[in-house]
Structure 1
Amino acid sequence: MAAISFGSILLLLLSLSLAQLLRWNPMWFGRSAGELPSSSEFFVFHEHDTLDDALFQHVGQLGDEFDAYRNHCLRVLSFAVHHLGGLRNVTNRQVNLMALALAYHDIALWTDGKLDYLDPSAALLLRDLRKNDKSGSVQDLQDADFVTLREIVLQHHKLTTWTPPEGSQADELLVNAVRKGDWADATIGMIRFGLPAAYLEKAYTELPEGGFHRILARMGGRLSPDSITERLAVLNIFKL
């Protein structure tokens, strides 16, 4: 009798958990999350010149996974702008900085073949900026912008709020907006810092996932097929 009672309790808890998950993120179950009001707060970028210009420098390395990565970057950019209050509350300069950083935030998975990819991704961003600066294609970037770009890449897997160290010139608002946006997209809304489920559904409808999460899940075996130790290097990208 006790065993049946215990099993019934477990079944009830499981049912309640699934019901809460369905309520929290219905699109996981193929259900619509409802309509959003027409508002600049829920804007979805379908393209962005700064992001695309940066990404096309590495189209060869991204190969047939280019579109999946680009859509991920555009969804995160959209969510980041939402966290800053929507299009009416951000400047073109802020959006451009976030877009540029996002083009590189995971890029070393492809360009360097690194599971511990934050530092090499940030390094490639700065190398490309120096190269483009010599060609005259980088304009109006200040010292503080370079610091912000680097921190956006390095901190985008931090779960809790990032606070800049004393003396840092990094824009804390931009770093944390991208951080929240990336967690929302990487977890398909399980961790989303208040983003409405309907907004995620809108973003995934307009910018198809394209197998991006499956690509990430397979990176360990693809980049380090014979080394468990090397696969565990991916844990270095996560920060509390």
Structure 2
Amino acid sequence: MDVVLECPLTEQILASYAAVIGKDLPGYRNHVYRVLSFYTALNPQDRPPCTAVQIAAAFHDLGIWTHGTLDYLAPSIQLARAFLAERGESPLAEQVSALIDEHHKLRPYRRTHAASVEPFRQADMIDVSLGLLSFGLPRPFIREVQARYPDQGFHWMLARASARQFLRTPLRPLPMFRW
């Protein structure tokens, strides 16, 4: 297992949203690379990550900043679909949309594109849980990825955003989670 060190397409997307993400960019970038590293460890036949996964990784949480909400899955999908259309890569829209829409699914994903969606979902859960969930990845590898891509306030930003969301919608405090 190797840490993912560079994905130029992902970098291009993140750079284009740098002003919107603002001070959270280093933390979000590192979250994206932790997810990509865990994804490729869980799904080694997709190394380096395919174009759809690289695009989904960059866009999967962007709606937090572009729409100022934790109900960000639909806005993130819209941004990714617009990006794909601009590049003439609309055939990837279904897979990229599934990767983003299902990345907070609490149960295993078994539908279309499961071969990429399920390890992507698991990779994000590993990171969001700070490695408490491992989905079989060795703890030393998780720590290596975390050391290479430190948190830089990403989880603290999520905690603050979650608290704000709870105050706004106490009956739906984490709208991005799916069963």
Normalising to structure 2: TM-score of the pair? Answer: 0.91
Instruction: Kindly indicate whether residue 86 of structure 2 is the aligned counterpart of residue 147 of structure 1.
Output: no
Change in Cα spacing, 1:63 to 1:142, as seen in structure 2 (3 Å) is closer
Q: Secondary structure at 1:114's aligned position in 2?
A: coil
Find the partner of 1:213 among 130, 138, 155: 155
Change in Cα spacing, 1:72 to 1:231, as seen in structure 2 (3 Å) is farther
RMSD (Å), alpha carbons: 1.8
Instruction: Kindly indicate whether residue 137 of structure 2 is the aligned counterpart of residue 187 of structure 1.
Output: no
Change in Cα spacing, 1:128 to 1:208, as seen in structure 2 (3 Å) is same
Find the partner of 2:120 among 165, 173, 178: 178
Task: Give the distance between the partners of 1:187 and 1:122, measured in 2 at CA.
Answer: 23
Task: Give the distance between the partners of 1:184 and 1:163, measured in 2 at CA.
Answer: 19
Aligned length: 179
Task: Give the distance between the partners of 2:12 and 2:24, measured in 1 at CA.
Answer: 17
Corresponding residue number in structure 2 for 1:90? 46
Change in Cα spacing, 1:171 to 1:142, as seen in structure 2 (3 Å) is farther
> How far has the Cα of 1:72 moved from its partner?
0.4
Q: Secondary structure at 2:110's aligned position in 1?
A: coil
In the alignment, residue 111 of structure 1 is paired with which amino acid? T
Task: Give the distance between the partners of 1:182 and 1:220, measured in 2 at CA.
Answer: 17
Q: Indicate conservation of the 8 Å contact 1:115/1:219, yes or no.
A: yes
> How far has the Cα of 1:163 moved from its partner?
1.9
Corresponding residue number in structure 2 for 1:66? 25
Q: Indicate conservation of the 8 Å contact 2:72/2:176, yes or no.
A: yes
Q: Secondary structure at 1:188's aligned position in 2?
A: coil
> How far has the Cα of 1:128 moved from its partner?
2.3
Gaps of 5+ in 2: none
Query: Radius of gyration: which is bigger?
Result: 1
Q: Indicate conservation of the 8 Å contact 2:70/2:161, yes or no.
A: yes
Task: Give the distance between the partners of 1:78 and 1:178, measured in 2 at CA.
Answer: 10
Corresponding residue number in structure 2 for 1:27? none
> How far has the Cα of 1:176 moved from its partner?
0.6
Instruction: Kindly indicate whether residue 2 of structure 2 is the aligned counterpart of residue 43 of structure 1.
Output: yes
In the alignment, residue 177 of structure 1 is paired with which amino acid? P
Q: Indicate conservation of the 8 Å contact 1:157/1:239, yes or no.
A: yes
- After TM superposition, list the pairs within 5 Å mapping 1:1-240 onto structure 2: 42-84=1-43, 86=44, 89-90=45-46, 92=48, 94-130=49-85, 132-133=86-87, 138=88, 141=89, 143=91, 145-164=92-111, 170-221=112-163, 228-230=167-169, 232-240=171-179
Q: Indicate conservation of the 8 Å contact 2:162/2:174, yes or no.
A: no
Instruction: Please identify runs of 4+ aligned residues in structure 1 that moved more than 3 A.
Output: 231-234
Normalising to structure 1: TM-score of the pair? Answer: 0.69
Gaps of 5+ in 1: 1-41, 165-169
Residues 9-46 of structure 1: per-residue CA shift (max 9 Å, x gap): xxxxxxxxxxxxxxxxxxxxxxxxxxxxxxxxx21112
